Amino acid sequence: MSYKTILACLTSEFAAAHLLPAACGLARQFDAHLTGLHTREALVPYSGIAIASDEIVLGDFNQRVAEEDQKIETLFQAAADKAGCTAEWRSRAARSPDAADELLDSATRSDLIMALLPDRQQERFDQAGFQKDLVVNSGRPVLLLPDDWGSKPVGTRILAAWNGSREAARALHDGLPFLQRAAFAEVVTIQEPHHRAAKFATEGHEIARVLSRHGVTAEVRQIQDTEHPPGIRILMEAASQECDLVIMGGYGHSRLHRLIFGDASEHVLQEARIPVLMSG
């Protein structure tokens, strides 16, 4: 199993500059085809505002969007040429106020999706929360990176978070191409208040045996921690093991559960300073 089609979500010039070093590196590592996708911003008219009919405003907007699109394409082509990977550029006009709609159209036909971790200061209003939309709705693994990761290796030391859920099972199997190449892998289970002690005692060991049949040697660590939310505890363990990738399921709990116990997915996306691979 390997990733053969990688989609890089180049949502802005900033995202392109900071995501492409890692995207090109992984495309070479997996001998994969790299698609760079930019969704051009849509000018959305609102009731009572005649901005869309103002030719000057519309002309300035279209020029700015076209200039940004050209800059991102130039960055993409230069990075792909330098890396020597097979590459394809796609520029799509957003068809709705939600940029994730256009990203999803290409995401479902990829083996791995790459994007930067959420950063409200760098994202357009129509891009807010697109990472969650990709995790939940694309059906594909989403690799999210900090904007300062650059070309550092991804997946040499891996923490795989396991809670027995459908999303966690999907994530671990989606992450096999990384796990099979890793120098170190650790399956981590965290006892939450609703877990039964007897079940928790065996949690993680069976999935580690499943991974072993794919050639993955993984240690198992069971953590009992009532002081920290599970997401923060996952990142603490990843830091202590000097991991460069966390693999986990995303957004598997109900809204009520998230309100009562917090949400590990949100905690990780807000606080992570290492790459995170999520599947929903």
Q: Is residue 151 part of a domain?
A: no
pLDDT tens, 14-56?
999 999 999 999 999 999 999 999 998 876 655 444 554 567 7
The CATH number linked to 169 is: 3.40.50.620
- Are 277 and 246 contacting, i.e. CB atoms less than 8 angstroms apart? yes
Longest CA pairwise span in the chain (Å): 68
Q: Is residue 152 part of a domain?
A: no
Stretch among 37-46, 182-191, 241-250, 256-265 having the lowest mean pLDDT:
256-265
Could you give the CA distance from residue 235 to residue 268 in angstroms, rounded to a whole number?
A: 7
Residues 174 and 85 in one domain: no
Q: Which residue has the higher pLDDT, 211 or 65?
A: 211
In which domain, by residue range, is 209 found? 157-279
Grade residue 119 by pLDDT with cuts at 50, 70 and 90. Answer: confident
Residues 48 and 131 in one domain: yes
Count of domains for the chain:
2
pTM: 0.90
pLDDT tens, 64-112?
889 999 999 999 999 999 999 999 999 998 776 666 678 888 999 999 9
Q: Of 115, 143, 171, which marks where a domain is finished?
A: 143
Residues 139 and 165 in one domain: no
Grade residue 256 by pLDDT with cuts at 50, 70 and 90. Answer: very low
pLDDT tens, 127-179?
778 899 999 999 999 999 999 999 999 999 999 999 999 999 999 999 999 99
Residues 25 and 118 in one domain: yes
Cβ-based neighbour number of residue 23 at 10 Å? 31
Question: How many angstroms from the chain centroid is the CA of residue 133?
Answer: 10
For residue 258, pLDDT over 50 is answered with: no
Q: Where are the beta strands (DSSP E) in the chain?
A: 5-9, 33-40, 87-93, 112-116, 142-145, 157-161, 184-191, 219-224, 245-249, 276-279
pLDDT at residue number 195: 59
Strand partners, 144: 115, 276
Residues 91 and 167 in one domain: no
108, HSE (Cβ side, Cα atoms, 13 Å): 9
pLDDT at residue number 264: 87
Residues 262 and 231 in one domain: yes
Q: What average pLDDT does this structure show over 268-276?
A: 96
